Structures are given as C-alpha cells and as structure tokens.
C-alpha cells in the first residue's frame, strides 16, 4: 500500500475486510476486561465485522504467546492484539513474566510476519493499572490502533 492509500485507509478507519485475533489474559481480569472493551470499541470504529473478530482467553500473560500461536495456526488472522496486565509484587517475578511475554510475542511477529501488538501493561500498582485500562488512557485502544494502522 502506498503512503497516500495508507493515509486514506487510516482516515476512513476502514477495517471491514480484516480478520483480527485478540488474546486476553484472565489474570487481573478487572483490568484486562476493561482493556478488551477498549479494543472492541476501537475495532467497531474501524468497521471490523464481529464475525471477523476472535477472542481467545488464556490464564495469564505468560500464556499469551501460546494463545497467539494457536490463533495464527487455526484462525489465520491478519493481525493480533495481545492484552494482559503484570503488576509488580514483592519479588522479581513480574520482570520475568513481562520479559518472556514480550519476547514470545516479538518472536511470533517476526517468524510469521504478522503484526501482533503488545497490549500488556506493566505497572507498579493496581491503581496505575486501573488508570491505564480505562477512558482515554485505555492501553487496549492503543494496542488495537497499532495493529489496525499497520494493516491499513
């Protein structure tokens, strides 16, 4: 797609022909469900048909790359939006989970040449996570836009 065509598609928010996968972590579901709402609202704004959206739930953020791989192989989406939330605890566990998740997503993106957005928020507190998962600061919306704009 040429630059002018991309700009027209972006301005028109034309995602009507796209097949989008969403992998969402069930851990911290109060946060991830709010982010999922932001993703779905953004896909609707871009006219992505409901029947072209597949939501795949995984237990936690660490399992997101596996969920992405499963969608790639079974649903063959044009792009995937990965949604999760990792909150700092008393140990370094959060860093291991976030790093492994990011690495897994990047490997799949490059291996399959498929845009997978990183909508996994990493925060120090639950309050920060709540702020980043609602309203205008909903990182789910941003993750959806990243994939849509790459595909426009």
Catalogue the active-site residues.
93
Q: Looking at the DSSP assignment, which residues form a beta bridge with residue 85? A: 121
E strand residue ranges, the chain? 20-25, 53-58, 79-87, 116-123
The token pair that represents 137 in the structure block = 């600061």
For 78, other C-beta atoms within 10 Å of its C-beta total 18
Backbone torsions φ then ψ of 26, nearest 5 degrees:
-80, -20
């Amino acid at each position: 797609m040429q630059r002018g065509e991309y700009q027209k598609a972006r301005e028109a928010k034309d995602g009507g022909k796209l097949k989008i996968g969403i992998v969402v972590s069930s851990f911290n579901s109060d946060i991830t469900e709010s982010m999922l709402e932001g993703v779905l609202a953004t896909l609707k704004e871009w006219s992505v048909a409901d029947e072209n959206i597949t939501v795949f739930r995984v237990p936690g953020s660490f399992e997101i790359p596996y969920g992405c791989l499963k969608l790639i192989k079974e649903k063959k989406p044009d792009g995937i939006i990965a949604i999760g939330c990792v909150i700092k605890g008393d140990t370094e566990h959060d860093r291991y989970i976030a790093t492994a998740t990011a690495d897994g997503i990047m490997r799949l993106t490059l291996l399959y040449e498929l845009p997978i957005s990183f909508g996994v928020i990493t925060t120090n507190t639950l309050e920060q996570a709540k702020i980043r998962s609602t309203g205008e600061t909903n990182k789910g919306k941003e993750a959806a836009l990243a994939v849509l704009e790459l595909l426009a």
